[in-house]
Amino acid sequence: MNKTVNQKAWLFVIPVFILVAFNAAVPLMTVVNYSFQETFGNNVFTWEGTRWFKQILRSDRFHDALGRQFLFTGIILLIQIPLGIFIALTMPKKGIGVSVCLVLMSMPLLIPWNVVGAMWNIFALPEIGFLGHTLNDLGFDYNFTQQIGDAWFTTVLMDVWHWTSLVVLLSYAGLRSIQPAYYQAAEIDGASRWAVFRHIELPKMKKVLTIAILLRFMDSFMIYTEPFVLTGGGPGNATAFLSIDLVKMALGQFDLGPAAAMSLIYFFIVLLVCWVFYNLMMRNEEQK
């Protein structure tokens, strides 16, 4: 769409600008402020330069948390994106089934995150939870509060439960926008099911899938509440992802300087990954 140049349009943007800046600018400045200083309370600050940044970037604790975070996000994306697409492909296209699927599938998305954690906690506990109890009955030695593998399994399963529906909804919307003529033409051309998916459905879903991957990346990278309630980051630090580690550092140990430096590095990583991913997708688009 060709847009007209109109500087007065700024007036329309002012409310948004004020509301977001109000929330973003001052707190972000506070974080930046802390990240370069040392404090022992009472508003006494000493300038520390880039010391905290260096310290964080060199610390094993940060490396471990970051590694866990990337591993978790990677697993989540690898499961949720293909699974979401697969479920969307098998969903009914008309009739009452559509509403039933949409309503029931959206349910997990609208449950407060700590309730999700609590729900999975009591669902997975070996003594009282359905999942834990059943797995132990089947002969697995399952206890997510004590075994690292089980804790990861449960956290991943919880996130799959919680968020796959978002990918399903987005993919489904993308699929619905495909004109029936495409399927008919493919049928006449004798295309296999795989070819229809590869050459019609996947390219048409590209836009919504970009959004799905971006949203899932951001949100899983920033995950805090659900694993905090489910495992508390444990056993040990096995499921202490970046946010959990950060809050521990900031509120638990009150190491404001390092915590602020870590915040900024963390934020920067999210931005960088999103920016790179977005540009890759867009460059691909332009090449066409």
Identify the residue among 113, 153, 197, 277 touching another protein (CB under 8 A). 113
Question: Radius of gyration over alpha carbons of the chain, in Å?
Answer: 23
User: Is residue 252 a contact point for another protein (CB under 8 A)?
Assistant: no
Q: Would the CA dihedral through 14, 20, 22, 26 be positive or negative?
A: negative
With contacts defined by CB under 8 A, name the span among 41-49, 74-82, 145-153, 270-278 that binds another protein: 270-278
Whole-angstrom distance, CA of residue 204 vs CA of residue 208: 9
Query: Which residues inside 38-77 make contact with another protein, applying CB under 8 A?
Result: none
* Residues 217-246 close enough to bind another protein by CB under 8 A: 218, 221-222, 224-225, 229, 242-244, 246
Task: With contacts defined by CB under 8 A, name the span among 22-30, 58-66, 74-82, 146-154 that binds another protein.
Answer: 22-30
Residue 285, SS3 per DSSP: helix
Q: Phi, psi at residue 45, to the nearest 5°?
A: -125, 145
Query: Under rule CB under 8 A, which residues in 73-112 are in contact with another protein?
Result: 86-87, 90-92, 97-99, 101-112
Structure tokens at 159: 């996130």
Q: Which of 120, 144, 152, 163 contacts another protein by CB under 8 A?
A: 120
How far lies 95's CA from each of 32, 100, 168, 177, in Å? 54, 9, 18, 17
Interacting positions 132-191 with another protein (CB under 8 A)? 133, 161, 164-165, 168-170, 172-174, 176-177, 179, 181-182, 184-185, 187-191
**Contact between 81 and 209 (Cβ < 8 Å):** yes
| CB nearer to another protein: pick between 123 and 152 | 123
